[in-house]
Amino acid sequence: MVKRIRIRTMFIGGCITILFFILLVRIFWVQVVDASFLTEKAKETWSTTVKLDAVRGTIFDRNMNTLAVDAPAYTVAVNPKRIHDLKLEEPIAAKLSEILNKPVPEVMALVTAKKKDGTYYDQREVREEGWKIDQGLADKINTYIDELRDKVGKNADVGIYLLKETKRFYPNDSLAAHLLGYTDKQGKAVTGLEAFFDKDLAGIDGSISYDQDRKGYKLPSADEIYKPEKDGKNLVLTLDQNIQHFTEEALKEVYNKYQPISATAIVADPSTMDILATANMPNYNPNKYWETKNQANFYDHSIKSVYEPGSTFKIITLAAAVQEGYFNPNETYMSGQIKVSGWPKPLRDHKRGGWGEITFLEGLKRSSNVAFVKLGYERLQKEKLGKYFEDFGFGQKTDIPLFGERAGTMRLDSNVDVATASFGQGGVVVTPIQQVAGVAAVANGGKLMAPRLVKEIIDPTTNTTTKIEPTMVRQVISPETSRKVGEYLEQVVSDQKIGTGKSAYIEGYRIAGKTGTAQKPKKGGGYEANKYVVSFIGYAPVEDPKLLVYVIIDEPNDQYVGGGSAAGPVFKSIMSQSLRYLGIEPSSKPKQETEDETKSEGKPAKPVAIVPDVLKLKIAEAKEKLTNQGITFDTIGKGSNIVRQVPDAGTPLAQGNRVYLITEDPKNITMPDMKGSSLRDVLEFCTLLDISYTITGEGYVVSQETTKDGDKMHVNFKLEPMTGEKSDPPPK
């Protein structure tokens, strides 16, 4: 018995010893080997970290008006368990559906949501419709909560909550939407400046960590680990909110009228290439981006769409020709059509038959394709023309700070490519922002400038400001060439008789501009018969350009409208409002009207200027004198001095009329071919040169017959009505 007891005692003692040894090993393992791991696990239980959200940077316009800012928002949440206890599932689902515009079945699914074990959830967020709602909707939710509490009990939990958050807010809704871009509800920057400058705007989130008890309260003796948030930087743009408003309103009007695929406008300061406004139609509201179903509304045509620019591109060819000394405004050529080596068809002017033998300046004013084929293809030729196109920035990105910019193309592979590119079709495809930068270089004294969208970046944490200065890419043409081209382009607008840009005329201001009407190319080659891109580009004042405006309308629903009739009025609206807003004084005093002076049938037009004396002056001197007074003119003859002027000096000049400058004896001037000219053209010209004439028919000249009796010349003109025609499509 004793032996048996001893054995049992030893066995039990051995087991206890072994267990004690195992316990010691386990304690050693836990406290030494696994100490770090278990400490971290424990910290996860009693430690907590609270995220400190950084405030996204604010975007301002150039005058510090807010364009994008973080604002308070609310997310609607429901407590299915509490709502079930109150038996309010159906009324709450119906009311939330009404306020948030969310289908009743979807809301009902949320307010009755259960876990896998069959118990109700304590909280479910109402997404997407109840996610980050604005104050207006939040007020409606709070009103409904108060109504429920009146029934259930004061301060009672009715199972509906508003969780306070922040969201990106655009105070002007759709204003400058394509430029600003937007952030989605998760706070991710999607497009525009929001995306391009996301690293600057987003900032860096902070945090605070501390120990807590099992109820979530901070332990009094606990240490804190605090990492402060760093708010995002603020952007100050070159954009002007008011000019942006003028631009969008004018663009909406033409978009509603002609229902094009798209309409785009850009306003810039040509001296710095500061973008003062940029707009596209159709548009969208970044505050409610999810409501816009058509993805085309988000597309920024100003940098992503490419077009054959048409006649607005003639400005570039003109500048190159003037720089090289190939453009003589008084030199004549035969308009109508021109042959290009290696191409079977002649290239034509937009008016069949042209205007006979005219000067190159008149060719510019009438937007003659033939004139520019002669300048670009025949005189500048492929190498020089291509070099100027490249120097003006075409075929390459402008590096505007936005994602998605396209480079366009330049194709000058054949003679016909060179010829058609010289008047803006076939061999050249550009983006609107390229066109603006190129023409700005013509306007500002010949300097190609990089587009600037952001003036300053302000860091609110360090209170420092980084300025972004205007950047000059290269000098393309001389200041003298720039001045000359501006004066030539001014006559395209100021010539109220034949200037294609006359619809953009603004009384008192010197406007330089050019229209464009380009046929749209087909995908498989060739051109669409009745689809056009119409445009207008111009700048003012000519003597010191402050504003440049480009308007482009892609495929208006009226195939017969051109750049002058459709885009010109948009340009005029934007330019006139912007000039007045900026306080830019007129170049000449506009005429004053009183009730007694209003236009009426049979009354002569009011004078806008007094004709100065330019007799015996050189052409350049006379031209400068007239241009400075805003008077349009035509030069006739091949002499170098003015031998006669009509009207005479001191004559009041009515709106729309011009001064004719004759540089040689009228007897030596050959009667030009007047085919296509109006009756008014015929009368003015014949009266000017003391030529007798007879007129048969109405409309435009279709034929003429000249006879001479000694020194006396007589011309018989036959006129017929003429319907408008578009130009032949250039080769593709």
Tens digit of pLDDT for each residue in 504-531? 999 989 999 999 999 999 887 888 888 9
- What does the alpha-carbon distance between residue 482 and residue 441 come to, in Å, rounded to a whole number? 8
User: Distance of CA 563 to CAs 157, 441, 469, 560, 568, Å?
Assistant: 65, 22, 34, 10, 6
CB 376 within 8 A of CB 428: no
360 plus 417 within the same structural domain: yes
What CATH number has the domain bearing residue 705?
3.30.10.20
pLDDT at 30 (0 to 100): 67
Give me the torsion for CA of 445, 428, 385, 383, rounded to 10°: 140
- Both 246 and 170 in one domain: the answer is no
341 is annotated as an active-site residue: no
Q: State yes or no: pLDDT of 160 exceeds 70.
A: yes
Q: Are residues 82 and 166 in the same domain?
A: yes
Q: Which domain holds residue 420?
A: 241-581
Per-residue pLDDT, 298 = 96
Pair of tokens at residue 693: 């004439």
Are both 282 and 370 inside the same structural domain? yes
The least confident of 111-115, 258-262, 580-584, 641-645 is 641-645
Q: Is the pTM of this model over 0.85?
A: no
Question: Would you state the pLDDT for residue 390?
Answer: 96
Instruction: Identify the band that residue 598 occupies on the pLDDT scale cut at 50, 70 and 90.
Output: very low
95, part of any domain: yes
Quote the pLDDT of residue 183: 94
Residue 539 forms part of a structural domain: yes
* Nearest partner of 362 among 498, 159, 555, 512, judged by Cα: 498
* H/E segment holding residue 256: helix 241-258
Q: How confident is the model at residue 343 (pLDDT cuts 50, 70, 90)?
A: very high
- Cis previous bond, 128, omega within 30: yes
* One domain for residues 509 and 405: yes
Spatial contact of 269 and 566, defined as CB atoms under 8 Å apart:
no
Confidence (pLDDT) at 23: 84
Do 413 and 558 reside in the same domain of the chain?
Answer: yes
pLDDT at 511: 95
Q: What is the DSSP letter of 543?
A: T
Say if CB 428 and CB 308 are below 8 A apart. yes
**CA–CA distance, 324 with 254 (Å, rounded to integer):** 39
In a domain, 468, yes or no: yes
In a domain, 634, yes or no: yes
160 domain-assigned: yes
Greater confidence (489 vs 606) lies with 489
Q: Are residues 272 and 319 in the same domain?
A: yes
- What's residue 448's pLDDT? 97
**271 lies in the same domain as 419:** yes
- DSSP code for 306: -
Cis ω before 270 (30° cut-off from 0): no
| Tokens at 208, concatenated | 């605070």
CATH number reported for the structural domain that contains residue 388 in this entry: 3.40.710.10
H/E segment holding residue 92: helix 89-100
**Does residue 498 share a domain with residue 396?**
yes
Q: Give the pLDDT confidence score for residue 606 in this predicted structure.
A: 45
CA dihedral for 429, 433, 435, 438, sign (positive or negative): negative
User: pLDDT, tens digit, for every residue of 448-491?
Assistant: 999 999 999 999 988 999 999 999 999 999 999 999 999 999 99
Give the model's confidence band at 596: pLDDT under 50 very low, under 70 low, under 90 confident, else very high.
very low
Domain's final residue, options 203, 237, 271: 237
Q: Tell me, what CATH number does 167's domain have?
A: 3.90.1310.10
How many CB atoms within 10 Å of residue 468?
15
Span 635-690, pLDDT tens digits: 877 788 888 877 667 666 655 566 778 888 766 776 666 676 665 566 666 766 66
Chain centre to alpha carbon of residue 104: 42
- Do 668 and 690 touch, CB atoms closer than 8 A? no
Same domain for 274 and 164?
no
Residue 6: its pLDDT value, please?
A: 79
How many Å apart are CA 385 and CA 367, to the nearest integer? Answer: 19
**Looking at 97, 262, 302, 311, which residue is catalytic?**
311
Q: Domains in the chain: how many in total? A: 3
Burial class (CB in 10 A: 0-12, 13-18, 19+), 260: buried
Mean pLDDT over 52-57 rounds to 88
State whether 91 and 71 are in the same domain: yes
Mean pLDDT over each residue of the chain, to the nearest integer: 86
**40 compared with 467, residue with greater pLDDT:** 467
534, 556 in Cβ contact below 8 A? Answer: yes
Note whether residue 483 is domain-resident.
yes
Asked if residue 326 is part of any domain, the answer here is yes
On whether both 259 and 233 belong to a single domain, the answer is no
Whether residue 324 contacts residue 391, with contact meaning beta carbons closer than 8 Å, is answered with: no
Q: Within a domain: residue 728?
A: no
